[in-house]
């Protein structure tokens, strides 16, 4: 009998004309309506705290062949809205029209732009999903990657990484002023490291960038990377030691037991047409040199032995 009541209640929820629960979102993180949020509602309500003034995109990612028209409303608040507050504004103004679409892997992403007018305000986002059961795949996210906050980049040390400026289509393909780049990287503990940045022009060596590093004993999740939560060691405003124009070096040392870093880099200059990132690891470089010294000769010797044995008819 309890199961029957539950199904009846769930059916009433799905048939409701207003959202019945609100979900919190993070920037640039994908949520599956099938898995993460569990229910096949007709209406969804989301909320997100904004950390900057300006634009962001609410995006829906689905198979292109399954596209149907979506209806979306947004409202800005100076407090954290609960579902009652959101429903009191249900479908009142705030209606968004699509701002474009683009391909991502085998999927199609549909974007709906909106703007924050108050820093540290909150937005509610209401999504009406037509004929939910016709979708085999659906992700939602708030994308700020081309406006202010980058997606989290999982990088390797001692590897070149130029920032792709093509995504900044609304900014003449330049990295915006105060744009924040977020990096997650696996590291060695007790290691001497350095974040190296290169631009096309020389700027003030002390104020060009704000570079923060958070050190973790385990791999940090998205919330930890974006907000620096629960870090074992936090280092803010690293000092640039380079005297060469257009180059900025920020040295630091990892602590004992540290396995991961989250790195935040903020462009405090102006709109940039180029930014190159290189994360140096002393232990990583030493390991690579040892690998070359040991592995390369072993490969050469192995190849030579094989050729000799082949010539003798032992190997075919």
The per-residue pLDDT for range 232-275, each reduced to its tens digit, is: 999 999 999 999 989 999 999 999 999 999 999 999 988 899 99
With a pLDDT cut of 70, the percent of the chain lying above it is: 81
Per-residue tokens: 271 = 């709109």
- At 32 the pLDDT is 86
Instruction: Tell me the domain boundaries of the chain.
Output: 2-143, 149-287
203 versus 227: the higher-pLDDT residue is: 203
Indicate the class that CATH gives domain 149-287: mainly beta
For the chain, give the mean pLDDT: 83
What is the fold of 2-143? Jelly Rolls (2.60.120)
Contact assessment for residue 190 and residue 253, using Cβ atoms and an 8 Å cutoff: yes
Which residue do the tokens 């040390």 mark? Answer: 157
Q: Report how far apart, in Å, the C-alpha atoms of 103 and of each of 9, 71, 199 are.
A: 38, 21, 30
- At 87 the pLDDT is 87
Per-residue tokens: 74 = 């947004």
- At 5 the pLDDT is 36
Between vectors from CA 128 to CA 127 and to CA 129, what angle results, nearest 5°? 110
Confidence (pTM): 0.76
Question: CA nearest 256: which of 182, 168, 170, 190?
Answer: 190
The per-residue pLDDT for range 67-113, each reduced to its tens digit, is: 888 899 999 999 999 999 888 887 777 888 888 899 998 899 999 99
- Mean pLDDT over residues 110-138, rounded? 86
Query: CATH topology of 2-143 equal to that of 149-287?
Result: yes
């Amino acid at each position: 009998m309890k199961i029957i009541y539950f199904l009846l209640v769930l059916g009433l929820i799905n048939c409701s004309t207003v959202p019945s629960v609100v979900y919190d979102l993070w920037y640039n993180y994908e949520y599956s309506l099938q898995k993460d949020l569990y229910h096949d509602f007709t209406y969804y309500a989301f909320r997100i705290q904004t950390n900057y003034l300006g634009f962001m995109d609410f995006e829906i990612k689905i198979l292109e062949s399954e596209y149907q028209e979506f209806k979306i409303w947004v409202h800005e608040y100076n407090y954290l809205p609960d579902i009652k507050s959101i429903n009191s504004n249900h479908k009142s103004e705030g209606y968004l029209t699509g701002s474009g679409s683009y391909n991502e892997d085998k999927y199609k992403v549909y974007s709906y732009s909106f703007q924050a007018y108050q820093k540290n305000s909150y937005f509610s986002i209401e999504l009406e999903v037509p004929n939910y059961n016709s979708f085999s795949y659906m992700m939602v996210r708030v994308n700020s990657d081309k406006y202010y906050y980058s997606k989290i980049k999982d990088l390797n040390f001692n590897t070149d990484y130029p920032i792709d400026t093509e995504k900044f289509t609304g900014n003449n393909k330049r990295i915006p002023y105060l744009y924040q780049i977020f990096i997650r990287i696996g590291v060695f503990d007790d290691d001497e490291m350095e974040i190296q940045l290169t631009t096309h022009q020389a700027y003030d060596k002390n104020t060009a960038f704000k570079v923060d590093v958070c050190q973790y004993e385990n791999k940090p999740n998205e919330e930890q990377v974006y907000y620096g939560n629960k870090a074992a060691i936090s280092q803010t405003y690293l000092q640039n030691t380079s005297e060469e124009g257009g180059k900025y070096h920020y040295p630091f040392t990892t602590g004992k037991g540290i396995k991961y870093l989250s790195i935040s880099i903020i462009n405090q200059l102006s709109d940039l047409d180029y930014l190159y990132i290189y994360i140096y690891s002393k232990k990583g470089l030493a390991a690579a040199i040892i690998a070359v010294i040991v592995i390369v000769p072993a490969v050469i010797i192995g190849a030579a032995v094989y050729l000799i044995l082949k010539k003798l008819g032992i190997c075919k």
